[in-house]
Structure formats: structure tokens, C-alpha cells
Amino acid sequence: MLLQIPKVLSAEQLRLVRARLDAAGDAWVDGRVTAGYQGARVKDNAQIAEETPLARELGDLILSALERNPLFISATLPAQVYPPMFNRYEGGQRFGNHVDNAVRLLPGGSMKIRTDISATLFIAEPSEYDGGELVVEDTYGTHAVKLPAGDMVLYPATSLHRVNPITRGARVASFFWIQSMVRDDAQRALLFDLDMSIQRLNATGGDENARTQLTGCYHNLLRMWATT
């Protein structure tokens, strides 16, 4: 499932994040530092070094916004979220086709996260740059994603994907991964559709007994499939 989550950050939060990133200077490092063998050969961008106070501060801001985002919670059913990272592409930089590493060590090195879902939160406005589309290939075909600043896209971490070369301006984004309580993308998508339908029935006042039963089905499926 490929899903757009609008307005994860408010205009005020975006301004703050953007100003801090634009002033980050030496904290920007070669993006290859966190790439695996496959990724390093096709990756060409800059990243804010992990475990810097700046990365932690801005990452926490995004995480607390996500904790209050019902669409994010329903779509990902998060068990763990990797601390958000930040990247910038400019002057022809790109990230060629790759699949994200399946398991990543959390900063600090003590815990691992399985990357079920990949997330990109756009921080630069599309009008600021040309190229830079996130292109995701899944079983339904190829999708080119370029969203307004503050919006986020979620896609299965199993997907082959790339970032097209930048031909003008700079593309600034945050990226991270989610380990879901429900590992399988198809099961997660089914639970998401069911949740959305129940919420719609609740809002439009459908038959109450049916709604109660459907809500029960949701939780019993989640109980069947979730690992915590």
C-alpha cells in the first residue's frame, strides 16, 4: 500500500525545521555513510549526521507529530519507529534503484528494527526544485511521488524505489522506517481499509449493532496478526 498522509507538520513546524536544516552547515555529511553495499553504489546525496543534537531535536518533533496523527497510526500500526533522518539532493544528485535494508541497528547500537514500511516526509516545496521524484515500483505499477512540504508518503519497504536526479534547486526531506505490529503489507492494508470503513460508518451513523460487530472483527483480526 502506498499512502499519502497530508499535513504531518504545520506551517510553523515546517518553517522551524527548514530554518534549522538550512543553517546546519557541517552537520550535512555524505549520505553514503548509512547506505548498505547495494545502496552505496547508487546513492548520491547529503544527510544530517545521525546522533547529532540537531537530528535528534528535529526527529523528535516529527515523532511527536506522528504520535498524534490517527491516519499514520491506523496505516502503520507501529511497533517501533526509526528516529527520522534528513537528506538533501541538489546539482544532479540522485539515489538509483534499490530496496531498503531489511534490518537496521537503532542509533546507539543496542536495538534492531525490521523495516516494514518506508516513509518520506517532504520538507521542500515542489516548486523549489525540478526532478527529485520518489519513484516506487510495486505490484500495481510505478508511482512517481512529489508532495507539498509537510506531506508524507508511506510505502512498503519491500518495494524497489529511487529518487530521480535533481535538475534545479534542492530537495530536502526526512526519511525513516517503521516496524509494524503487523508485518505483512496485505494484512496491514486490509486492517487499514476496515478501520477507515468503520470510522466512516461511525461518522455517518450506520446500524449500531453492525458497527459493534465490525469493530470486534477489526480487533480480533489485529489480535490474530499482531506481534508486540
Residues that bind Ni ion (CB under 5 A): 100
At its nearest, how many Å lie between Ni ion and the CB of residue 70? Answer: 26
At its nearest, how many Å lie between Ni ion and the CB of residue 157? Answer: 8
Residue number with CB closer to Ni ion (76 or 191):
76
Residue 217 CA to residue 200 CA, distance in Å, equals 16
Crossing angle of helices 185-204 and 208-225, rounded to 10°: 160
Residues 31 and 47: beta-carbon distance below 8 Å:
yes
Residue number with CB closer to Ni ion (97 or 220):
97
At its nearest, how many Å lie between Ni ion and the CB of residue 161? Answer: 6
Task: Give, as one character, the DSSP assignment of residue 169.
Answer: S
Nearest-CB residue for Ni ion: 100
Phi and psi angles of residue 10, each rounded to the nearest 5 degrees, phi first: -75, 170
Residue 208 CA to residue 186 CA, distance in Å, equals 28
At its nearest, how many Å lie between Ni ion and the CB of residue 71? Answer: 22
The strand pair at 112-114 and 117-122 is best described as unpaired
Residue number with CB closer to Ni ion (39 or 126):
39
Please report which helix (H) or strand (E) contains residue 47, including its range. Answer: strand 46-48
At its nearest, how many Å lie between Ni ion and the CB of residue 211? Answer: 39
At its nearest, how many Å lie between Ni ion and the CB of residue 155? Answer: 10
Residue number with CB closer to Ni ion (44 or 100):
100
Phi and psi angles of residue 164, each rounded to the nearest 5 degrees, phi first: -65, 150
Residue 156 β-bridge partners: 117
Cell of 52: 547529532
Residue number with CB closer to Ni ion (48 or 198):
48
Residue number with CB closer to Ni ion (40 or 222):
40
Residues 178 and 76: beta-carbon distance below 8 Å:
yes
